[in-house]
Amino acid sequence: MIAAIKPAGANTRGLLAYLYGPGRHDEHLDPHIVAGFAMLGMPDPGRDEHATLTALARHLDAPVALRNSEFGKRVTDHVWHCPVRAAPEDRFLSDAEWAEIAQRIVTAAGIASEGDDLACRWIAVRHADDHIHILATTVREDGRRPKLHDSGKRVGNQCREIEKDYGLRRLNKGDCTATRAPSQAEMHKAARLGWQQTSRAWLQDCIRAAIPHATTAEELLAYLEAGDVMVKVRRGPSGDLLGYSVGRPGDLNSHGEQIYHPGGKVAPDLTLPKLKARLETRTPEEYPTARRNRPATPWQHATEALDTFSYEIGGTGEGADARGQAQIAALGELIEATAQAAPAELRAELRAAARTFAHAQRSQIRAEHDTATGLRTAGRDLVNASLGKDGSPLAVLLSALIWSAILTERWHTARHQAQQAAAAHQSVQHLQAAYDQAAAPQLAALARRQPSPGTYAALAHDVRTAIPDHAGRILAAPDWPALATVLADAEAGGHRPARLLKEAAEQRELNTARMPARVLIGRIQHTARNPAPNPRAEAALLRSAHRPTTRQHAKEPTPPRPALPSDSQRRHR
């Protein structure tokens, strides 16, 4: 159930005309009062042929008129309007049930507590099966104004209780991080002009798409202005940027003037201070080792950066939440960058993933953005990258993005941030759809060149040895031939398949994996591109691990791995 408090107005009679009228699309059927401050003697134009809208408006406005006649300053914002709507799948609610719901809403808002004879005057009008409109005049019978601060939050909490008590669809509790829903006027304007999105939704997509291309707020605004976005900035006497607002070309008011929206009205995390905090972090050039050992392509660099994400988001101790929140914000930018760099046929799903993940990026936890510079830099490198003919780097990156989004969902769930967890979950579904589409040609090609029967059997034995708990699902999966080819290629490069399988399973648990064989393919392709470990170097490392050290707080030595049979022994098992 959703209750959306509308901005205050001053025309009670005008709002009643809308509530009792046919509606903008003839959707108002049988409008009538189901509840009110005093039902006895209440004029109801929907049930009483002698009642008029003017009479009802005067009845509701009586305390306002009395206050205005006695005090010097007139009240001009006294109309309170709150539509309350049930979900489409909810059961039918009777007039009596809607009356009880309306009373609970006005009590939670501070309009009229039950039993308060001096409360504000209000009515609830029903003109459809699934919703009511509550109208109140915010002057009490004693002339005082009600305390409506944070009324939206209180009403939202009450709606969650109503859903539980009436057996309705349960929504997640809000935390004031969601974007403002589009108004009826915005949606009707978009439909009239032939736009697929409202202006604010379109502007939000444009700003988020520009973020991976900029390192400062000034660069971001310049990038927007060079495109299709109208930008208006506010500067101080020194020329410093103090604020900005954006507009959509063709979005004009009744006077033919361009409409501009401040960044904070577009989305809560797009205010100028928050954008500066994200963008104007330390650049990689300030870190001497930032570009050392950089992977060969931006796609590989992005996948490497996600390994750091998996480590950081699982951190503990002081500041761990701030670091985790920063990583999640940068992950959203990387998903957006991937959508821009991916082939055209994948962009719809990836843009949908980026759009839904936007809410998972922001929470009440303040982010320490300096800790996510590496992930953000990977996204900036990726937006201008060329994929080439081989699509495997994209599939590997998408597999890593899926796991990162799953970790994000778990991170938010552990902190009871239901709205963000739900957004991350939706993003996972879009990313999985994109991965299935991107990986299909590659998996088919791998399956066509599967190894010889002897190698095939040996690799199956490696699977049963390295990950016995999941071997049955993996070997029975249609993607097992492709995984066998990947393992054979890695073995030809000097890697040990059993070790790769075990390491991949440790990096990404398989219990919740939708297709564990595909998960392993992505992880092993990512790991196997690195040079195989030198046997002599490994032996030296094992010998040094057993030497005593004089350093304090030294880590426990890694136990030696059991020796694996040689290639010739493996093939003659």
Report whether pLDDT(65) > 50. yes
Q: In the structure encoding, which two tokens stand for residue 523, read together?
A: 């992880």
Rounded CA separation 361/110 (Å): 33
State pLDDT tens for residues 401-430.
999 999 999 999 999 999 999 999 999 999
Report whether pLDDT(571) > 70. no
Q: What is the pLDDT of residue 531?
A: 66
Length of the chain: 573
Instruction: Annotate 267-291 with DSSP letters as a single string.
Output: -TT-SHHHHHHHHSS--GGGSTTTT
Distances (CA, A) of 139 to 77, 93, 296: 10, 30, 68
Work out the average pLDDT over 190-204: 95
Report whether pLDDT(91) > 50. yes
pTM score? 0.76
Report whether pLDDT(541) > 50. no
Please state at what angle helix 480-492 crosses helix 453-466, rounded to 10 degrees: 100
* Model confidence band, residue 285 (pLDDT cutoffs 50, 70, 90): very low
Q: What is the pLDDT of residue 26?
A: 59
CA dihedral 135, 101, 90, 416 (to 10 degrees): 100
CA proximity to 526, closest of 342, 396, 401: 396
Rounded CA separation 255/506 (Å): 63
Q: Three-class SS string for 246-271?
A: EECCCCECCCCCECCEEHHHHCCCCC
549 or 202, which is more confident: 202
Q: In the structure encoding, which two tokens stand for residue 526, read together?
A: 């990512």
Report whether pLDDT(438) > 50. yes
Residue in the block written with tokens 């990313």: 431
Rounded CA separation 13/54 (Å): 6
User: What percentage of residues in the chain have a pLDDT greater than 70?
Assistant: 88
Q: What is the pLDDT of residue 25?
A: 63
Work out the average pLDDT over 340-357: 94
The pairing of strands 121-128 and 32-36 is: antiparallel
State pLDDT tens for residues 483-506.
999 999 888 888 899 999 998 888
Residue in the block written with tokens 């957004």: 423
Supply φ then ψ for residue 246, to 5 degrees. Answer: -130, 155
Q: In the structure encoding, which two tokens stand for residue 59, read together?
A: 């009845």
**E-strand stretches of 342-455:** none
Report whether pLDDT(551) > 50. no
In the DSSP assignment, the letter for residue 371 is: G
151 pairs with which residues across the strands?
none
Instruction: Annotate 54-101 with DSSP letters as a single string.
Output: HHHHHHHHHHHHHHHHHSSSPP---EEEEEEE--TTSPP--HHHHHHH
State pLDDT tens for residues 30-41.
899 999 998 877
